[in-house]
Amino acid sequence: MAQETLQTLGEFIIDKQDDFQYTTGELSRLLSAIRLASKVVNREVNKAGIADIIGHAGNTNIQGEAQQKLDVLANEIFINALSQREVVCGIASEENDNFIDIRCNSGDGSLSKYVVLIDPLDGSSNIDVNVSVGTIFSIYRRITETGKPVELKDFLQKGVNQVAAGYVVYGSSTMIVYTTGNGVNGFTLDPSLGTYYLSHPNMQFPKKGKIYSINEGNYIKFPQGVKDYLKYCQKEEEDRPYTSRYIGSLVSDFHRNMIKGGIYIYPSYSQAPNGKLRLLYECNPMAFLAEQAGGRATDGYRRILEIEPTELHQRVPFFCGSEDMVKKAEEFMTGHKE
């Protein structure tokens, strides 16, 4: 297909405005701000190894993890793009202790109705070794009164309340994949033009898959249900053993599994009794995408999107991917539920 016939991300956003129940154009402007920020981050990621932007920044984030220089830079880029374009009333980032209240007017003269939760650079420790990283974002309508400062409860919403979510993967090609609750679509960046084009329409998880993604180095610490499921994956049967593929970057592992069919697991273990992934910045947006693409996402027992958040940086175990594979993992987890 000739490139000029491809639909750009900007055109797609405008064409699909009517799919969204609030057709003020504000959400479209918000998604456009994320598109712009992703291109700036992509440029910086591609300079890693040339510019002095790899390695540790010398800081730790709220979770006590060492921040990479690109973590800090990506965080600043997304916060600036979202706040200066007057499209959100609040931002919460995995890299910040607290949420940010944005005091600004939206284009129609009323204060913005949306809050964004973001993991600016997921898998950033992989930058030093030139492995794919990503950005994850989640968008909600505020629940407090418009025109007043945002409050914590605007961010502590169940995942079912998301109005949009997505990720950017900075890999061999750069892609934005997102949903507004009407399916999942992927757009690939043409670096020569600086434009995203629709390349993966109506993305779907295969109902069954043959890939399992988990850090097996922690096997001895896993719950018995996870251990038993891994043995099931490795057993010689007509449709098994499955293939183990683990990049260590949630965006990259999720993206591969959605295209090829598979399950991603980050369970609880002795050093992380609640798991490691953050409900608001990683699990909720990925669960929304998974369900919109015909997949499934749980904590081993409960639907991720139904979990009531209690804090900004809350962690949960995460089982996500092809529906049949997640259901089978849940069977093993339920069989060993304490």
Residue positions forming the annotated binding site for substrate: 122-125, 215, 246, 276
Q: Give Cα separations from 323 to 95, 131, 158 (angstroms).
A: 31, 28, 21
Name residue 117's amino acid.
L
Cite the annotated binding site for Mg(2+) by residue number.
94, 119, 121-122, 282
Q: How far apart are CA 57 and CA 71, in angstroms?
A: 8
Q: How far apart are CA 150 and CA 90, in angstroms?
A: 6
Cite the annotated binding site by residue number.
94, 119, 121-125, 215, 246, 276, 282
**CB atoms closer than 10 angstroms to residue 338:** 4
**CB atoms closer than 10 angstroms to residue 150:** 24
Kindly give, in sequence order, each residue whose CB lies less than 8 Å from that of residue 236, ignoring residues fewer than 6 positions away: none
Detail the DSSP E strand segments found in the chain.
56-60, 66-68, 90-93, 100-101, 114-122, 133-141, 164-170, 174-179, 185-190, 195-200, 211-213, 243-244, 262-266, 296-298, 318-321
Q: How far apart are CA 130 and CA 114, in angstroms?
A: 34
Q: How far apart are CA 309 and CA 143, in angstroms?
A: 15
* CA angle (40, 41, 42) in 5-degree steps: 90
CA proximity to 27, closest of 114, 134, 103, 127:
114
